[in-house]
Chain A
Amino acid sequence: MRMTTDMRITIMSMIMLDDFLVRAGLAGLGLSIATGPLGAFVVWRRMAYFGDATAHAAVLGVALALATDLPILAGTLVVAGAMAMTVASLAARGWAMDTTLGVLSHSALAFGMVAISFFPAVRTDLSAYLFGDILAVGRADLALIWAGALAVAALLAWRWQRLLTATLNEDLAHASGIAPDRERLVLVIALAIVVAVALKVVGALLIAAMLIIPAAAARALARTPETMAVMASIIGALASLAGLLLSLWRDTPTGPSIVVARRGCSFCR
């Protein structure tokens, strides 16, 4: 059978990533490579609120980027990273984390939104930063998302044994010559990168959900930490595609739809 011109154009446009849906699908897929294993650590270490605080700080990062003409990614990376470091060092000094995280997380969000309101051009666009705008992911965004996700996955794979040991028990890690503080820093850096690249896809309010929901769903299916991390990535990827389709089919907001699909996955396991 000979290809019709239509088919040929479709295939060509997929290869060239012309279609915004193809780009959106690939963005969700790429992100899932990182959110699977990182999400598993967030669950194991009970860092859910920590993830939230870091993600909320990204909104402040957007404002910083707008004010200084930096790329949005650089601004979010810096501020999310600073927030994650602050929270991690407070936790190491034994602060009451529940309250501290609540204060930091919500003030970062509030300050960020107030700061963004000083840029009238962006003001109308605010929901894109809060809930993401995956359908607007361009080729350059896609490259950054994949680069960030692969970097995080490689970082976690490199430190895997040490991260797991330190997560199980810090004293046990110490006795084996592993510095738990350094491994915590690895996770903090990974989290800041994921937040920065995921902002475009699901937005600041839903990044923590991207991390936690697939990992929680994968828990029941896994007998080892490795299978849980891989299952979380697969569940995350499938749910991103399902969320896209849901959003296409019912014209629902895409970022929240992906989270809904991820939650749905954990029901039908």
Chain B
Amino acid sequence: MSLIAAEHICVRFGGIEVLHDITLSVAKGEIVTILGPNGSGKSTLLRALLGIVPVQGGRILRQAGLRLGYVPQRLQIDRTMPITVRRFLSLPVRIGEAEARAVLARVGAEGLGPRQMTDLSGGQLQRVLLARALLADPDLLVLDEPTQGLDQPGEAAFYRLIEEVRQATGMAVLMVSHDLHVVMAASDRVICLNGHICCEGTPRVVSTAPEYRALFGPGTKGALALYRHDHDHAHDDGHAHHHHEHDHA
């Protein structure tokens, strides 16, 4: 029994087909990651599943009474709006003081309640967004590249936190990423996307699939290629040895 499913959906923006014939489903309790290069339609797929973007073909099925938690890619709060973390947690449903404290503690954001949202660091903001999503007691948590702008320890800690919450609540997780090394550690299932579904399966199966290799760099070695690519943007060349360690991990 799936919580949410897409059957042959297509999405077009101004005549350009962004998503073509996508069929997927997320079952209770599993962590599914959508992986793909920039412009492959990852975020659009999430937004279509959430009903933000209209689909031109196919249909989206949700389990009746499905409770959704959503963590957006980024939350740009206009500096003209004063809002504390505590107040933010009470949107759109007002919550009590004890509940606010408990949920902040659960995501490791104790004491952030009185802080202004615009003063938070990237990692703190992600934790607060996660806390707000958890308040709905979701059956399915949807995350759109939730660790953008976090450093690597921060990213690892964030995914550990997701895993912990999944263990505790049994909720399913659907997320978008372009980092395979994260996917390896944290997912039950990977869907490889480039406008259409190229391949899908366990992280290990996907990383050896020819479609996946074609997508993330012909003539290279899958996971390593992707990882190197990402890492080179963040650091200078002195970290080659570091790459090597991860390759064997």
Interface, chain A (partner B; CB < 8 A): 43-46, 161-162, 164-165, 167-176, 178, 216, 219, 222-225, 227-228
Contacts and interface: CB of A to CB of B under 8 A. Distances in A.
Contact of A225 (B75, B82, B136): B82
B87 A175 contact: no
Interface in B39-55: 47, 50-52
B249 interface: no
B75 A44 contact: no
28 contacts: A44-B78, A44-B81, A46-B78, A161-B93, A162-B92, A164-B91, A164-B92, A165-B91, A168-B77, A169-B76, A171-B50, A171-B70, A172-B72, A174-B50, A174-B51, A174-B52, A175-B52, A175-B70, A176-B70, A176-B92, A176-B136, A216-B80, A219-B82, A223-B84, A224-B83, A224-B87, A225-B83, A228-B81
Q: Which of A164, A170, A178 has the most CB of B within 10 A?
A: A164
A43 B77 CA distance: 13
Nearest to B70: A175
Contacts of B76: 169
Contacts of B94: 161
Given A168-B91, A175-B68, A227 B80 contact: no
Nearest to A44: B81
A168 B81 CA distance: 9
Interface string B64-80: 00001110100111101
Interface string B102-132: 0000000000000010000000000000000
A48 B149 CA distance: 31
B91 A171 contact: no
Contact of B87 (A178, A216, A225): A225
A171 B75 CA distance: 10
B142 interface: yes
Contacts of A175: 50, 52, 68-70, 142
B179 to A, nearest CB: 22
B75 to A, nearest CB: 6
A169 B82 contact: no
A44 B72 contact: no
A165 B93 CA distance: 10
A222 B91 CA distance: 18
A43 B81 CA distance: 8
A136 B77 CA distance: 42
A167 B77 CA distance: 9
Q: How large is the interface on B (under 10, 10 to 19, 20 to 34, 35 or more residues)?
A: 20 to 34
A165 B72 CA distance: 13
Nearest to B82: A222
Contacts of B91: 161, 164-165, 168
Contacts of B70: 171-172, 175-176
Nearest to B94: A161
A119 B145 CA distance: 61
Contacts of B80: 43-44, 216, 219
Given A43-B80, A173-B92, A222-B82, 6 more contacts: A161-B94, A162-B92, A168-B88, A170-B52, A172-B70, A216-B80
A173 B69 CA distance: 11
Q: Which of A46, A162, A169 has the most CB of B within 10 A?
A: A169
Contacts of B72: 169, 171-172
Given A162-B92, A165-B92, A172 B75 contact: yes
Contacts of B77: 168
A219 B80 CA distance: 7
Q: Which 5 A-B pairs give the minimum distances between C-beta atoms?
A: A175-B70, A165-B92, A174-B52, A222-B82, A161-B92
A49 to B, nearest CB: 15
A178 B136 CA distance: 14
Nearest to A164: B91
A224 B69 CA distance: 24
Q: Which of A43, A167, A168 has the most CB of B within 10 A?
A: A168
A170 B91 CA distance: 13
B49 to A, nearest CB: 10
A215 to B, nearest CB: 8
Nearest to B72: A171
Given A171-B52, A175-B142, A223 B82 contact: yes
Contacts of A222: 82
A183 to B, nearest CB: 10
Contacts of A162: 92
B186 to A, nearest CB: 21
Nearest to A170: B52
A228 B51 contact: no
Q: Which of A167, A170, A171 has the most CB of B within 10 A?
A: A171
B87 A168 contact: no
Given A161-B92, A222-B82, A228-B82, A169 B75 contact: yes
